[in-house]
Amino acid sequence: MQILLRASIVFWFIFLLTRGLKHRSLGEMAPFEMILLVVLGDIIQQGVMQQDYSITGAFLALTAFGFWLTFVSFITWKSRIARTIIEGVPIVLVSDGKPVERALAVEHMPLEEVLEAARAQGVDELGKIRLAVLEVSGKISIIQS
């Protein structure tokens, strides 16, 4: 029972922690961030399982995580409000060739990162961007003028 409780607490802690992090897809992470994820996984495993190395303990921890993932998925499927809270909303970073400074500041995203995404999509200057949107997936969508 302790494993189920610890796994549930850790699940919600990870959920809240990741909501505060930058939107970024896995392929766009720096090597340090990837290593940090691996280390975080080991720390989480130790916190959830403590000294329990049994198959039953692992099964219980996985069951708790699976339950909460299913629960969150169901809630976001059923409720638009929950989906907005849990997954977030797309954010406009550039509008009509001008950076939206407040959005960039909230996301802690330098304009250079937007310009890099624009170049990757064949847009070579800021003035040619009609709209740059940070999608909930972490990708930046660019619409040209």
Single-letter amino acid code for the residue at 3: I
With contact defined as beta carbons under 8 Å apart, do 77 and 18 qualify? no
Same domain, 71 and 95: no
Same domain, 43 and 83: yes
Q: Residue 110: pLDDT band by 50, 70, 90 thresholds? A: very high
Same domain, 14 and 81: yes
pLDDT score recorded for residue 26:
60
Average pLDDT in the 137-142 region? Answer: 89
How far is the C-alpha of 12 from the C-alpha of 56, rounded, in Å?
22
Contacts of 65 (CB under 8 A, 6+ apart): 7, 11
Boundary residue ending a domain (87, 114, 129): 87
Per-residue pLDDT reduced to its tens digit, 6-21: 889 888 888 887 776 6
Average pLDDT in the 40-69 region? Answer: 82
For residue 99, the domain's CATH number is: 3.30.240.20
Single-letter amino acid code for the residue at 122: G
Same domain, 81 and 95: no
With contact defined as beta carbons under 8 Å apart, do 27 and 139 qualify? no
pLDDT at residue 90 is higher than 90: yes
pLDDT score recorded for residue 21:
64
pTM: 0.67
- Which residue, among 69, 6, 84, has the nearest Cα to 43 in the 3D structure? 6
